[in-house]
Amino acid sequence: MHPSVHGVRAEYRTDSPFVGVNRPRLSWKTETTAPNWTQAGADIEWRRGEATAVAHVDGPDSVFVAWPFASLLPRERGSVRVRVRGADDAVSDWSAPLEIRAGFLGEGEWHAKFLTVPEPADIGQPVLLRREFTVREGLRAATLYSTARGLFQVEISGVAVDEERFKPGWTAYKSRLVHETNDVTGLLAAGPNAIGAALAGGWYTESFGFHGEARPFYGKYPSFAAQLVLEYEDGATEVIATGDGRWRAAADGPVTASGIYAGEDHDARRALPGWSSPGFADATWIDARTDAAKAIVPVPRTAPPVRATEELPVAEVITTPSGRTVLDFGQNLVGHLRIRVSGREGDTVVLRHAEVLEHGELGVRPLRHAKATDRYTLAGNGSETWEPAFTFHGFRYAEIQGWPGEFDPADVTAVVVHSDMDRTGWFDSSHAQLNRLHENVVWGMRGNFLSIPTDCPQRDERLGWTGDIQVFSPTASYLFDADGFLASWLEDLALEQEANNGVTFVVPNVLEWAKTPAAAWADAAAVVPSVLYERYADRGVLERQYPSMKGWVDQIAALAGERRLWEGGFQFGDWLDPNAPPDDPFQAKTDHDIVASAYLFRSSRLVAGAARLLGLDEDAKHYEAYAEEVRAAWLREYATPAGRIVSDTQTAYALAIMFDIAADADLVARLGGRLAKLVEKADHRIGTGFVGTPLIQDALVRTGHADTARALLLQTGVPSWLYPVTMGATTIWERWDSMLEDGTINPGQMTSFNHYAFGAIADWMHRTVAGLAPRDPGYRRIAIAPVPLAGLDWAATEHETPYGRATVRWEADGGQVLVRATVPPNTTALVELPGREPEEVGSGEHTWTIADPRPATEPKA
């Protein structure tokens, strides 16, 4: 069969033709049944109207191929097609055309000013803005560029311009603001038209902080800016921009209060039908006020948008011991409720959200100061349907108060909301609890990847903690196409690093005290770009982030001084190891200095590798040499030749093994033996926190203790990965025991039932239990190396790599293990199976049969 080309994309976004750069990199995938297929070259066609240009690319490159044509101009549009030629000289047909549109503005083209709520107004009171205008005959194209310090949605003549939510997302507002780009040609007609914007404070006006001391950080009022560019057939262009003195504003719309943490209040009696349509009577409105805050020219958004992606019905209606009505949706999720209700004018329905029940009632203590409550006041005009627009909640349960008449659960739906990334990774096995654990990881990522990678989605926090994503980024990059999402967040990390003289605990940074260097947290500056290169072959991220990576290591090297050890000072350490008391998550068993200096070694090596890749040879030599000095210092200070570490903990040994601090094979074996003993001594219960959890299973398998890893994985007692599953968890918990065995919530003041950090185990499940991993950047060379575990009859994984779908599945039966794998075209795989010599294979379907390497008798858990 001739090859065929599909999956053509420009830069990161697959949801929109708009690109945010003038030279978008191109990627494509090839399908063919021909075995061992590799690309010998490709033709790329760029068509603009009747003009066509074709560029030829020699070799196998098909991921992030440099734009081979002239740079795009603002609002330029065209289509790209690709055809490939294999090493066998077979040539594909042209791919389907991919529309590409320049979604950025030219230098000096941004003329809009930020408009805000008229004063005086209540803080938290959303505002409506509108402007009428006339479109003459012969409109060819209309492009809307819009942004806000806050959250917004735009309507034109009563129709929303898109289905996106929480626009423009949360960025480092003081340094970077992104704009949306919409083609609104189809919403305009010759004659009178109107544009309206609904504006709420969102993250911009939110109060941030802990222990009841939250304070506003950015601004008092939200503001909105936009410009609509009208292009006519006669070549004329008209720009309608905020700040031209013709925008009107009102703060008396139906949304009376809105907050990320508090929830949203909506009074349907205050509805303003037609407010975004021409001819609306706005005599009571006043002229919009220009925001005096420093203006930032926005840049185009490159991350995927936030959208509603799924809806869940009520699974059960519960009457609590106190007589309250609580709805169970069967899944801990992030989003909001949509209700359909009939009643009298002035009736108010109150919706309270929580993740768990305690003593049969809504468990709201973990929310701390977040009210997570929505209110809808009825207009009284028959059936009314409503959902909040500018808030989100983390919940499985919702308490309904004030419902008029008889309640029907069909009238309430849970709407799942998150950044709409393409799903790319799956896992399945014969072990039902393991499958549920993996599903919990997926749901945890969905809930916490909402504009930024948050720690939790429910309480008065929801911040972009760097430590959480540092440990979870490999898992994230397998489950979803997270490259564009994380690349955008990393831009903010670098900006906050520059503004705060170091990498902050959270990005965007809204905590004045969160600027102290902290190992494993700030190391996200070096780790996350390296993961994106490993998983997506995204060299561009390394190029953009290299100054940030280097700056972080230089900062810590200065602190480490001549001893080459990072000692003393504040550290999170192995945060939330299971021995830490409920109210003191810092108190991990592993010495903080051991963790800090191990990360100094790791990040130094990552910077050296990035420098080598980018052709910065002097930098590469410097950081390679520095890393070796740190390695020697760490081993000299903390490890003995006999294979003991002064901090005799699971995490300490896992760090030494998996960061390659211990390079001598005999020493690695001794360290692994001690690690296995510690796990066995703990009755195969987990003893690691945020730092050790992503490493321990790999460390055990690497040093020949797969059976110990198996017992640790399948342990169901507390603490373990499967304990929450036995307790009915549907997401990953923040603590190993967020809920105690008696069904009560952990007494600590920091307890979330939706944190993804401990879900980093899923990456090991993909790479080792099922056996699929990247061997070379972007999976151009794949590692197929399943480790069949006792207690499982089979395991399987699929991953949509940048080159196409790769799969691995093993099944054990009758003393043999059958392994099946799919290797995508234009890639190869290194196959390492127990009892066989390593083997290189090309693309296509492959099977192998090996003797079952597992013990003949089931090991004890």
**Looking at the annotation, which residues are catalytic?**
461, 734
Beta-bridge partners for 797: 427, 808
Closest of 706, 738, 710, 708 to residue 725, by C-alpha: 738
DSSP codes, 492-519:
HHHHHHHHTTS--SBSS---TTTTS--T
Q: How far apart are CA 355 and CA 332, in angstroms?
A: 6
CB atoms < 10 A from the CB of 278, how many? 17
Whole-angstrom Cα distance, residue 473 to residue 701? 21
Please list, in sequence order, all residues whose beta carbon lies within 8 angstroms of the beta carbon of residue 845, skipping any fewer than 6 positions away. 820, 821, 822
Nearest to 589 by CA among 654, 637, 663, 539: 654
End-to-end CA separation in angstroms for the chain: 50
Separation of alpha carbons 845 and 837, rounded Å? 19
Residues 840 and 228: their CA atoms lie apart, in Å, by 55
Is 239 in contact with 228 (CB distance < 8 Å)?
yes
Distance CA 241, CA 537 (A): 40
Determine contact, residues 477/492, Cβ cutoff 8 Å.
no
Could you tell me the two tokens for 417?
A: 């909301």
CA proximity to 396, closest of 464, 337, 481: 337
Q: What is the largest CA-CA distance in the chain?
A: 85
- At 521, the amino acid letter reads W
3-class DSSP state of 391: coil
Q: Tell me which DSSP letter residue 12 carries.
A: S
Structure tokens at 834: 């127990």
Q: Tokens representing 713?
A: 């994985």
